[in-house]
Structure 1
Amino acid sequence: MEMAEIPEGAPLQQRVAAAWPRLAPAEQKVAAFLREHPQEVGFSSASELGALTGTSDATVVRTAKALGYSGFTGLKHAVARSLATLMRPSARLRSRVEHMAGSTEELLDRVFEDAAEVIHETRRSLRADAFAAAVELLLPAKEVMTFGAGPSGIIAEYLALRLNRLGLRARHTADMGFRLPDALVPLSADDVVVIFGPARLFKEIEVIVDHAEEVGAPVVLITDALGPALGDRVAVTLLATLSASGATREALGSLAVVDALALAVASQLGERALETSELLTRLRGHFLPPGSPHYGRDE
């Protein structure tokens, strides 16, 4: 009997149906639990799911791979993306609070374990060729415009700050609605746009991409879930993973990507970056007394 193939990007329920005939009995127990209780995946470890299903952590990992995921972490993040579009924010918050209940030690462990998982998954998902292509776009840009909404706006501002300090002209905008067009008017084909859009396709993102296409400015998208929606309308997509449980927020993976981009740009700019750094230090010196312990510190 020919087994059904699992399509790329298929939802969990479809993956379970396609893989079911070739799963071992213990793996079927895990798959059935995942299908019926997907909200538990983001908040549980492989060993915890093994206990809940009467199997083992090894069986949970094997099941995840049999369902077409890269592993248990890939399963967690794929299910989290799906639930993010189906659950109300208040429902997601209630679920996080309920699952995070416990001692202070347990809460701290969960948050820091989640942060480590986000960083690890972001690195695993971030393709070196896409990253290098993004750096090559930034280096010759006349100006880099960064955009992000909400917490992503903070990371967009941070990237613009880092680039300016390296000698690249950059600006950021977090404007929404009728204020956004003012930020788009100066955009030209010599510029580059960097959009931070973790999961929600805001109207503002579509407007920015449309206008960038119109003027010929390439777009770098830093996202967890918007790659398929924007496709080849952007020049480069860099994946920055979101937390599966929500214990850490959307900025963590993007922040690591920004730091990597800034370091890569600095290494390419060489003396230009060093000269800009020296100029910044000299200008700061006007506001600090000689001998100050903060004199020359990069802040």
Structure 2
Amino acid sequence: MLSKINHANKLSPSEQYLWDYLAQNRQTAMQWSITELSEHANVSTATIVRTLKKKGFTGYTDFRHGRLKTAAHNIPYSVLENADEQIQNVVMQNEEELKNTLKNLQVSVIEDTIQLLTNAPLIYLFARGLSETIAEEMELKLQLLNKQVAYFHDPNIIKQIAAKVKPHSAAVFITLNGQTPELVAAARTLSKMDIPQIVLTANPQAPILKYTDELFLGYQSFNNLFDEYEVHSRLSLQIMSRILLDSYVVRTQTNNHG
């Protein structure tokens, strides 16, 4: 919870949105200037200042310095004790992605997905780019659990295979941004064929979502240390993939021994 809350000043909808945004992006927001925060949160700098003043701060500088000071006195991990501010931010950014991804998970989605995977005689797995390593691990683990898996990552083959998927199968898409053209096209095709689709992504506005039956929505921080390249963190996808597979193992083993 953020400090200096003043309940006497009621926030407008846009101000409440900003305050919630700051709460969800505590670690990364501390690294931004007020202009950068304005761009990331898509609000005006005036809204930022007005919101923080209602919460008892004199302005953005006061808020940011207060957060940095609080963070320095509340070191949750020993690795941070002797680390400078830059390394602390790197570590805490990963914690932020982990915690927010776990907050997004829904038990009903996990349970329903387990049933889909259990009932499907064949599971189609689709991924592109850096997400392919996560898909490869999922493919291997599902095969070790005696599931028949067909994994595809070539963009041209993905489009062709989508039109030839066998009935009663299930499809899993692992895509960070959820907007890779060939994956969206494949999802659209499968939707017309009534093939249940499970999507792991970190983009709540992804175009692939309109074709999704079961959604695992992760959290992606805005900071990318490799700005010139499309190599954003896949930590949230890795977390969700592991939770899904481990949950599948637990449920299937329980049923087999029950």
| TM-score tier after normalising by the smaller chain length | 0.5 to 0.7
| TM-score normalized by the length of structure 1 | 0.58
**Counterparts in 2 of 1:249 and 1:24: CA distance versus 1, 3 Å:** same
Task: List runs of 5+ in structure 2 lacking aligned partners.
Answer: 1-9, 22-39, 72-81, 226-230
* Counterpart selection for 2:180 from 188, 192, 202: 202
Distance verdict in 2 for CA 1:157–1:3, change over 3 Å? same
Greater shift in the superposed pair: 188-197 or 222-231: 222-231
Amino acid of the residue matched to residue 260 of structure 1? I
Asked whether 1:220 is paired with 2:249, we answer: no
Distance 1:110 1:59 in 2: 13
What TM-score do you get using the length of structure 2 for normalisation?
A: 0.66
- In the TM superposition, what is the alpha-carbon distance from 1:271 to its structure 2 partner? 7.6
Which of these residues, 33, 50, 53, is aligned with residue 64 of structure 2? 50
User: Matches of 2:224 and 2:50 in 1, distance apart?
Assistant: 33
In structure 2, distance between residues paired with 1:18 and 1:110: 26
Name the residue aligned to 2:245. Answer: 262
Between the two proteins, what is the percent identity of the paired residues? Answer: 13
- CA-based RMSD: 3.7
- Go from structure 1 to structure 2 and tell me whether the alpha carbon gap of 1:210 and 1:270 turns closer, same or farther (over 3 Å shift): same
Aligned residues, how many? Answer: 211
Q: Which has the higher helix share?
A: 1
CA distance in 1, matches of 2:165, 2:58: 54
Q: State the alpha-carbon separation in 2 of the partners of residues 243 and 22 from structure 1.
A: 22
Distance 1:13 1:192, change over 3 A: same
Q: Show the 5 A alignment for 1:1-299.
A: 4-6=12-14, 12-14=41-43, 23-24=52-53, 27=57, 29-30=59-60, 50-51=64-65, 56-57=66-67, 106=84, 109-176=88-155, 178-199=156-177, 201-227=179-205, 229-246=207-224, 249-270=232-253
- By how many angstroms is 1:232 displaced? 3.9
CA contact (8 A) 1:144 1:193 kept: yes
- In the alignment, the residues of structure 2 paired with residue 8 and residue 21 of structure 1 have an alpha-carbon distance, to the nearest angstrom, of 13
Give the Å deviation of 1:190. 0.9
Unpaired runs of 5+ residues, structure 1, are 34-46, 62-103, 275-299
For residues 91 and 11 of structure 2, what CA distance do their matches in structure 1 show?
40
